[in-house]
Structure 1
């Protein structure tokens, strides 16, 4: 009787282990497949939404991220930040992104 009970318990434990292997993948883990990013395809569009320039250090907001010279933003390296815009290196090529290239905003001051 004890031998049957132990055998039944062992079979029950093994069936739980087998059913645990059939659970769906953990949604918090990244996918194991290789995905080519937009940066690798050269399709990322860079948008400068803000520039803060000073004597010691300049700051820009590119694609919603605050960046300094030397930082990476969406796969591009920030080479220079000036009052006119941001110089980036994307896939070995230099790009200049101007603050004035934005759409939906005007540089005109409102009149009261």
Structure 2
């Protein structure tokens, strides 16, 4: 399979890693949209949120519990936005589920 995030997880492609454990990686976005912008990506290949099922409950919970501590470690103090793009109309450009964490400035709504 030719997946960008699987290649990053296997260290075939370098990243600006900020966290790694046996289940996930977190690294800086290469095109940041905020002063702090990183991705949290499971090492297990799941194409999108549409493919998440009961077998992934622990993994998704782990990611959601991890995000606040990573946001704090990265210096985000006044809140942050977590984004998951699902499918082409939802703006998903990499076919591997991932969560953008953006902070360090006020997030406007609606997003551009």
TM-score by length of 1: 0.23
Larger RCO (CA within 8 A; separation ≥ 6):
2
TM-score by length of 2: 0.23
